[in-house]
């Protein structure tokens, strides 16, 4: 799996050009991308700046000497590179496994070109087959949002903070995450729209029609999927 992530990250590096402003996603695959990007910047003396989507990617990029900037300074980015939890062959995605979906959607959609990097296990016939759909919610609204999500046929679960944080996980934006199990999703765009309409929902981890290409890595090599339209 790690080799697939590394190959995908390496392949996406071919899209990076000197002088670009890049959006950088979040997660373990993006962490590999940041490491090899920093190496390339050092070796080739590239002049690049990055807009991070989380404290994780901001901290790692800073530690590796990558210059950071903001969307306020650069509202349009040349390229965004991000991971995914599920990818279908139309390049629709489920994202938010690292709870960074809101900033990821803002940054990824601000790029002229958005490429996804992932290992082969993320490729699915239909979104929702394996992964739940995360949504970021305003804390005071979570129980009501959860009730409304059940009406849409989903089974929501409030994401826990894990070993190092008692109680619910709190995002970089100070909100909660609901992971919603829908099973295989027939119409991701319609579902994204329905979820987004619920008061208290900040963002939905369905990324429909946003990615331009995906690099899917495996032990054997990399498959590139490019969006047709
Ligand atoms: C974070 C994300 C990640 O991109 C996604 O969870 C994939 O992570 P990884 O590369 O670790 O499998 O959406 O919110």
CA distance 102 to 135: 9
Verdict on whether the full-model pTM lies above 0.95 = yes
Atom of ligand 1 nearest to the CA of 117: 10
The protein residue with its alpha carbon nearest to ligand 1, atom 10, reads: 29
What distance in angstroms lies between residue 94's CA and the mean position of ligand 1's atoms? 9
Whether the predicted pLDDT of 225 surpasses 80: yes
pLDDT band at 76 (very low <50, low <70, confident <90, very high): very high
What distance in angstroms lies between residue 123's CA and the mean position of ligand 1's atoms? 13
CA distance 139 to 159: 12
For 131, the token pair is 């992964």
What distance in angstroms lies between residue 85's CA and the mean position of ligand 1's atoms? 6
For 111, the token pair is 């790029």
Q: What's the CA dihedral at 167, 168, 174, 179 to 10 degrees? A: 180
- pLDDT recorded at residue 70: 98
Pocket test for ligand 1, best of 7, 27, 52, 114 (most atoms within 8 A of CB): 27
What distance in angstroms lies between residue 11's CA and the mean position of ligand 1's atoms? 17
CA distance 155 to 183: 9
Atom of ligand 1 nearest to the CA of 97: 6
- Chain segment 109-167, per-residue pLDDT in tens: 999 999 999 999 999 999 999 999 999 999 999 999 999 999 999 999 999 999 999 99
Average pLDDT over all residues of the chain: 98
pLDDT band at 228 (very low <50, low <70, confident <90, very high): confident
Whether the predicted pLDDT of 229 surpasses 80: no
CA distance 221 to 197: 41
Q: Are strands 176-181 and 155-158 parallel, antiparallel or unpaired?
A: antiparallel
Atom of ligand 1 nearest to the CA of 101: 14
Q: Which residues pair with 204 in a beta bridge?
A: 135
The set of protein residues with a Cβ atom below 6 angstroms from ligand 1 is 25-29, 82-85, 95-101, 104
For 50, the token pair is 């990055």
Mean pLDDT within 63-84:
98
Q: Which positions are catalytic? A: 104
- pLDDT recorded at residue 162: 96
Pocket test for ligand 1, best of 83, 119, 202 (most atoms within 8 A of CB): 83
Helix (H) or strand (E) holding 224: strand 222-226
Whether the predicted pLDDT of 213 surpasses 80: yes
Mean pLDDT within 47-52:
98
What distance in angstroms lies between residue 25's CA and the mean position of ligand 1's atoms? 8
- pLDDT recorded at residue 141: 98
The protein residue with its alpha carbon nearest to ligand 1, atom 6, reads: 97
Give the phi and the psi of residue 160 in degrees, each rounded to 5.
-85, 150
- pLDDT recorded at residue 1: 83
Mean pLDDT within 199-203:
98
Instruction: Please name each of the domains of the chain with its CATH number.
Output: 2-125+208-226 (3.40.50.1360), 133-204 (3.30.70.260)
CA distance 211 to 118: 13
The protein residue with its alpha carbon nearest to ligand 1, atom 8, reads: 27
Mean pLDDT within 8-30:
98
């Amino acid at each position: 799996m790690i080799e697939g992530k590394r190959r995908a990250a390496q392949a996406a590096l071919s899209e990076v050009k000197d002088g670009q402003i890049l959006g950088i996603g979040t997660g373990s695959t993006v962490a590999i991308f940041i490491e090899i990007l920093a190496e390339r910047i050092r070796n080739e003396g590239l002049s690049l700046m990055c807009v991070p989507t989380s404290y994780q990617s901001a901290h790692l990029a800073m530690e590796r000497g990558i210059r950071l900037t903001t969307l306020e300074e650069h509202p349009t980015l040349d390229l965004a590179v991000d991971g995914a939890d599920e990818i279908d062959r139309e390049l629709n995605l489920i994202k938010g496994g690292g709870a960074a979906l809101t900033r990821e959607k803002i940054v990824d959609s601000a790029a002229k070109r958005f490429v996804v990097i992932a290992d082969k296990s993320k490729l699915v016939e239909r979104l929702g087959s394996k992964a739940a759909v995360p949504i970021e919610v305003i804390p005071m609204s979570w129980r009501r949002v959860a009730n409304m999500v059940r009406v849409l046929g989903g089974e929501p679960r409030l994401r826990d903070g894990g070993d190092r944080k008692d109680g619910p996980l709190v995002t970089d934006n100070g909100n909660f995450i609901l992971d919603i199990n829908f099973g295989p999703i027939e119409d991701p765009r319609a579902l994204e729209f329905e979820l987004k309409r619920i008061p208290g929902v900040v963002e939905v981890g369905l990324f429909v029609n946003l990615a331009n290409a995906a690099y899917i890595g495996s032990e054997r090599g990399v498959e590139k999927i490019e969006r047709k339209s």
